[in-house]
Amino acid sequence: MEANPHIAPALPGLSVLIPVYNVDALDLVCDLLAQLRLSRIKYEVLVYDDASPLHNPNWQFLQDIKSPALLLKRMPANIGRSAIRNLLAKDSRYSHLLFIDADSGLPDETYIQHYLMYWQDYDAIVGGTIYEEKCPSPSVMLRWVYGRRREQISADLRNRAKHASITLNNLLIKRSVFLATGLDEQIRTYGHEDTKLGYALDMARATVHHIQNPVIHLGLEPSPEYLEKVKAAVQNFYDLSVHQGIGLDTRLHSTFKRFDGHFLGWFLRVFFAVFGWYVRLNLLSRQPSLWLLDAYKLELMLKHSRADRRKSKT
């Protein structure tokens, strides 16, 4: 992919970008700085808090870190998941950007070095995500089970769908490439801003490669909170797939097309009207069924479609 001529070239080096919202990033920042000091490249670490409503007791400890490479900033008002990442990228100085979510942990002491083996060869490199082997608490069981079974994917499998498998967490990307596409700031809530980024990179013919260099997803949400995020993510995916034609090759969209306006869709609606209480009870339990979670997402998609049809008739 050719660089955008309207974007000024950056200095060779690495900008690590960490958006923060109600998460303590102290350990992650310290581990990153320790590895970056040994990397023999120019680097910086930008940590932007998107107006977290909860007090972060370790923010002061971050401010006490004596490193000219560390830049901290707090937003006066929340600007959203996509906008905060776009701002981090625009404020960066170096040629390559490494996006890491603040609730991540590094897998080992060679994390940065592993990326540097490939960083000049591709427009974007995805390292992947892993989860702890044991669920840290019954209260986060749904998020842990989903992560272990659906998101903890080997690099070989992710490389079979290069652009479709892009995730914003643990993404190394050329600054010029990211700024030429950016994230859709209309997507303010949780979910699928990376889906649209992958589509944009595909349209731009950017080279994408997946490697086995995962971060550990540590900040798991309690199951009720995660279900609310699922609702937001499905709303975003519905808008992308139905209204913008993005994500049409996914299993959720293909199943939605089979059910929408069909007897099967009516059956699923009746099922949730009668057994919706049981589905929620199961998903909040210590043995959540991902099959029921898939059905729940499908019913949310169908509900949005029914709402669209009602609007079109008025």
Task: Identify whether 121 is part of a domain.
Answer: yes
d(CA 256, CA 264): 10
**Could you tell me the residue range of the domain that residue 306 belongs to?**
225-313
Closest of 293, 289, 285, 290 to residue 138, by C-alpha: 285
- Rounded to the nearest 5°, which phi and psi values hold at 178? -65, -45
Single out the residue in 218, 250, 275 at which a domain terminates.
Answer: 218
Looking at the structure, tell me whether residues 299 and 193 fall in a common domain.
no
Looking at the structure, tell me whether residues 53 and 89 fall in a common domain.
yes
User: Could you give the number of structural domains in the chain?
Assistant: 2
Closest of 303, 301, 294 to residue 142, by C-alpha: 294
Looking at the structure, tell me whether residues 27 and 81 fall in a common domain.
yes
Looking at the structure, tell me whether residues 43 and 151 fall in a common domain.
yes
What is the three-class DSSP state of 313? helix
Question: What pLDDT is stored for residue 308 in this prediction?
Answer: 87
Looking at the structure, tell me whether residues 67 and 155 fall in a common domain.
yes
Looking at the structure, tell me whether residues 55 and 189 fall in a common domain.
yes
Looking at the structure, tell me whether residues 214 and 232 fall in a common domain.
no
Looking at the structure, tell me whether residues 135 and 19 fall in a common domain.
yes
| pLDDT tens per residue across span 18-39 | 999 988 899 999 999 999 999 9
Question: What pLDDT is stored for residue 4 in this prediction?
Answer: 54
Single out the residue in 200, 218, 236 at which a domain terminates.
Answer: 218
Question: What pLDDT is stored for residue 28 in this prediction?
Answer: 96
Looking at the structure, tell me whether residues 140 and 235 fall in a common domain.
no
| pLDDT tens per residue across span 80-127 | 999 999 999 999 999 999 999 999 999 999 999 999 999 889 999 999
Single out the residue in 196, 218, 240 at which a domain terminates.
Answer: 218
Task: Identify whether 261 is part of a domain.
Answer: yes
Question: What pLDDT is stored for residue 7 in this prediction?
Answer: 57
Residue ranges in 54-93 assigned as alpha helix (H): 59-63, 81-91
Task: Identify whether 4 is part of a domain.
Answer: no
Looking at the structure, tell me whether residues 267 and 240 fall in a common domain.
yes
